Structure 1
Amino acid sequence: MAKSIKIPYKTDDQTRLMYRFVYVSSALTAIFGLFCLYPLGILGVVPMVCFSYCLLNLSNITLLKKHGNLKATALLSGVISLLAAISVILFSGGINSPFIFILGVIVLGGYAGARIFGTVYLNAAMLAVLLIFIVGEAQIPFIVNEVPAESRPHFSLISLLFAVYLVGGVFGKSLVRSHDALVKSKAELERRIAEKEVLLREVHHRVKNNLQTVSSLLNLQAKNSTNEKIGELINSSQNRVASMAMIHEMLYVRHDLSKIEFRPYVQELTNYLITSTDNKDKNIGINLNMVEVHLCIDTAIPLGLLINEAVTNSLKYGFLDNANGQIDISLKIGDAENAYVLSIKDDGIGFSPELNKNKKSLGLKLIHNLARQLRGSVQLKTSDQGTHYQVVFLDVDRHRTIGD
């Protein structure tokens, strides 16, 4: 049994990122608040918001360990971060505050967690910038710049260092780690897929070889049989086995392992039937007029068997000794969705009256059963001017996919 492929689970990455963001941002915000209090002499709202952010964020991550709802924790953390950043910006210079870059960090954190969070935070951050600008223009009395003029360069420095570290030290490392994990998992998947393609080709090759072995055994049995009728039946079975073997051979040698290029297959099949049937005194030509179509194996096999039966019947019963004739095979797209119309017509003498009345002949029963297997229908017209089969069918694989 093949080993399962271990792919990094996205939620685990998000959980690690959430813990790292909360712990690092809380620690940095606490340090930022202390810097504001003592070296910079910033008193009031800014340091109070920093310390409150630490307590709320750590409480939020503690609740995550209890309820385990990562999305709720991420959303609440984003809201806390957004409100705290807006408060610090308003009381540290408004639209001119260097702390405004933290809004961009929050948006990046949202996208790192989930696309919907990033979109929400992006719109919220843009709205916040507009509101901060409007508040600054309105000059509301109780909103003042708490940063002393002599401390503003230092405040700008630590605000930018704070933003840069969060971007590079938290989100940057997480994104690089996730990218590396995706590259490794992609390479592993490609390697496994290549292995499976090789194995699948080998399966088709072995099936083709086994079918050819069965065909050879049938050929030996036909040669050893003194009963002409039994020999004909064995030869018919041999042709049916050969028509299936050709499909597996084409799947083995071609790039696409799921679809058959149908026209070359029909060309190869009819050439085989012409050479394998006893037509030494006949000159029968095959004319193909088919659209370029790739059919799945579930469609190609029954359709190939149907063509095998129809062409074999024409070669056996449609032409007299020393006769010249032609079998026309056409395939076109039908009117209904995913439908095709297959026409097989010869210019021979048609079925004999006895064969035409014998509705229980194996060949005709097979043709009708195969048409039903293709979710289609077949019309048979025979006269002294030849025999005409018209089959309307569906590509089974496409129909099943759309139906499901």
Structure 2
Amino acid sequence: MQHSTKKNSRLSDKTKLLLKFNYTSSILSLVFGVLCYYFLDIKSIVPHAFFTYTILNVLNIFMFKRHGSLLVMAVATSLLSLISTIIIVLYSGGINSPFLFVLALIVLAGYVVTSLFGKIYLYSILGIVCSIYTLGKLDVFNFTNEIPGASKDHFALLSALFSVYLLGAIFGKNLLKTHHRLYKSKTEIEKQIIEKETLLKEIHHRVKNNLQTVSSLLSMQGRNTTNEQIKKIIKSSQNRVISMAIIHEMLYMNDNLSKIAFKPYVEELSAFLIKSVDGSSQSIDLNIDIPDVKLGIDTAIPLGLLINETITNSLKYGFHGRNDGCIGIGLQKQENSDEDYILTISDNGVGFSDETSSNSTRSLGLKLIHNLARQLQGSAIKDESKVGTTYYIKFKDVPQTLSPVA
């Protein structure tokens, strides 16, 4: 609806401008013709070209009131102006005619309709000017200069006034009005963008606060039970919530509201998990090799949950009976695609049985790893040849599914 309204507004502006050009040029041509005929002693083709243009252009305006087609009126106006101007130029000095500048106005009139029309008239008129110059030099056609010597200065003055008035009163005024409208529109758009960015920041801030509230509720619930298994389940759920809260906090703090820098996010999430998961008393080295890439929120959240599951499993089970260990997280962009990535998550722990899979195990974490990889249009592959546990997650930076704020 808004696009249709803008289109109709532009069409209305073009119509008003072209009608104004037709009315003004017709009146000026009539006045110019009268002055040529009665005051400048120009009795032949030049004044009649002005009179003919006036009559045909008035008829063109009248016909537009009947058929209502802007394109038809624009074509007729351009052709009438072009033919009349060429005739006047040829019989008022050729390449030296002061009326030659009016051809430039015809180019502007063409651009008023469409850029295609403008380009067509631009190159056509350039060719016409070159042809007039060539014909004059070669003396192929003998066009008599009808302007008497005593009237040349007056004709040049009238031609300059004719051109400058049309340029200033019609096109110049319209350009200034259009510039003012574009500036006003630009200011309004910038204001709307700032308002929407502020709103989105506030949304991310509130989502982060709500997720932290959920985490606090889970923590309170965990303290109210003596069942260690339930406590572990609640703690795992709490970490998953925090992994999402960190993303919304980063979006709130940064200027980019749709993408986050992935490396800082992984560093913050990994540090939090090492401190929070049981076994944090162990000496765990963290090796993060991630380039400076930004990923969309619909990609970062599943990846954050996926990293949460793998690191949590490593901390809980991978270093059993050991006081130290190493966890590595790396990201590579595949060379054959702009959207495919490979995330490597590994540890040098004891690993787990080769017979354990997402289909056979009852572990929610292992099932989540594979489900989240599929959500990212990829897959999770466990490398059986490595010491400890190593996962290769192939994924795409999926486009956002949420529509922008209207």
| TM-score using structure 2 length | 0.92
Q: How far apart, in 2, do the equivalents of 1:351 and 1:298 lie? A: 30
- Give the CA deviation at 1:302: 0.5
* Residue matched to 1:228: 228
Superimposed CA distance per residue, residues 152-199 of structure 1 (whole angstroms, 9 cap, x where no aligned partner) = 111111111111111111111110110000000000000011000000
Q: How far apart, in 1, do the equivalents of 2:202 and 2:174 lie? A: 42
* Residue matched to 2:48: 48
Is the Cα–Cα contact under 8 Å of residues 329 and 344 in structure 1 kept in the other structure?
yes
* Residue matched to 1:114: 114
- Give the CA deviation at 1:17: 1.2
Is the Cα–Cα contact under 8 Å of residues 135 and 141 in structure 2 kept in the other structure?
no
* Residue matched to 1:365: 367
Q: How far apart, in 1, do the equivalents of 2:147 and 2:356 lie? A: 105
* Residue matched to 2:97: 97
* Residue matched to 2:65: 65
Q: How many residues align?
A: 397
* Residue matched to 2:176: 176
- Give the CA deviation at 1:66: 3.1
| Secondary structure of the corresponding residue to residue 83 of structure 2 | helix
Q: How far apart, in 2, do the equivalents of 1:49 and 1:256 lie? A: 62
Q: Flag the 1:141–1:303 CA change in 2: closer, same or farther, 3 A.
A: closer
Q: Does 1:150 align with 2:144?
A: no
- Give the CA deviation at 1:363: 0.9
- Give the CA deviation at 1:13: 2.3
* Residue matched to 2:210: 210
- Give the CA deviation at 1:110: 2.3
Is the Cα–Cα contact under 8 Å of residues 290 and 330 in structure 1 kept in the other structure?
yes
- Give the CA deviation at 1:142: 6.6
Residues 307-316 or 89-98, more deviating? 89-98
Q: Does 1:25 align with 2:25?
A: yes
Of all paired residues, the percent bearing the same amino acid is 50
Is the Cα–Cα contact under 8 Å of residues 349 and 383 in structure 1 kept in the other structure?
no
Q: How far apart, in 2, do the equivalents of 1:48 and 1:387 lie? A: 94
Residues 319-328 or 111-120, more deviating? 111-120
* Structure 1 residues 234-383: aligned runs within 5 Å: 234-337=234-337, 338-351=339-352, 358-381=360-383
| Secondary structure of the corresponding residue to residue 332 of structure 2 | strand
- Give the CA deviation at 1:356: 5.9
- Give the CA deviation at 1:298: 0.7
Q: How far apart, in 2, do the equivalents of 1:173 and 1:341 lie? A: 58
Is the Cα–Cα contact under 8 Å of residues 282 and 321 in structure 1 kept in the other structure?
no
Q: How far apart, in 2, do the equivalents of 1:137 and 1:281 lie? A: 97
Q: How far apart, in 2, do the equivalents of 1:332 and 1:19 lie? A: 61
Is the Cα–Cα contact under 8 Å of residues 247 and 260 in structure 1 kept in the other structure?
yes
| Secondary structure of the corresponding residue to residue 101 of structure 1 | helix
Residues 377-386 or 269-278, more deviating? 377-386
- Give the CA deviation at 1:355: 5.7
Counterpart amino acid of residue 234 in structure 1: I
- Give the CA deviation at 1:79: 1.4
Superimposed CA distance per residue, residues 288-346 of structure 1 (whole angstroms, 9 cap, x where no aligned partner) = 01111100001000011100011111111101145210101111112331111100110
Is the Cα–Cα contact under 8 Å of residues 283 and 322 in structure 1 kept in the other structure?
no
Superimposed CA distance per residue, residues 102-122 of structure 1 (whole angstroms, 9 cap, x where no aligned partner) = 112222332344322221111
- Give the CA deviation at 1:141: 7.0
Is the Cα–Cα contact under 8 Å of residues 7 and 185 in structure 1 kept in the other structure?
no
Is the Cα–Cα contact under 8 Å of residues 317 and 352 in structure 1 kept in the other structure?
no
Q: Flag the 1:399–1:388 CA change in 2: closer, same or farther, 3 A.
A: farther
Residues 110-119 or 216-225, more deviating? 110-119
Q: How far apart, in 1, do the equivalents of 2:385 and 2:363 lie? A: 18
Residues 378-387 or 245-254, more deviating? 378-387
* Residue matched to 1:37: 37
* Residue matched to 1:197: 197
Q: Flag the 1:320–1:142 CA change in 2: closer, same or farther, 3 A.
A: closer
Q: How far apart, in 2, do the equivalents of 1:184 and 1:200 lie? A: 24
- Give the CA deviation at 1:381: 3.3
* Residue matched to 2:390: 388
Superimposed CA distance per residue, residues 107-155 of structure 1 (whole angstroms, 9 cap, x where no aligned partner) = 2332344322221111121122122234434546773222222211111
Is the Cα–Cα contact under 8 Å of residues 112 and 175 in structure 1 kept in the other structure?
no
- Give the CA deviation at 1:48: 1.3
Q: How far apart, in 1, do the equivalents of 2:280 and 2:398 lie? A: 38
Q: Flag the 1:103–1:354 CA change in 2: closer, same or farther, 3 A.
A: closer
Q: How far apart, in 1, do the equivalents of 2:287 and 2:131 lie? A: 77
Q: How far apart, in 1, do the equivalents of 2:264 and 2:281 lie? A: 27
Q: Flag the 1:38–1:281 CA change in 2: closer, same or farther, 3 A.
A: closer
Q: How far apart, in 2, do the equivalents of 1:186 and 1:399 lie? A: 28
* Structure 1 residues 128-139: aligned runs within 5 Å: 128-137=128-137, 139=139
Residues 319-328 or 198-207, more deviating? 319-328
Q: How far apart, in 2, do the equivalents of 1:158 and 1:108 lie? A: 20
| TM-score using structure 1 length | 0.92
Is the Cα–Cα contact under 8 Å of residues 357 and 366 in structure 2 kept in the other structure?
no
Unaligned runs of 5+ in 1: none
Residues 7-16 or 366-375, more deviating? 7-16
Is the Cα–Cα contact under 8 Å of residues 344 and 388 in structure 1 kept in the other structure?
yes
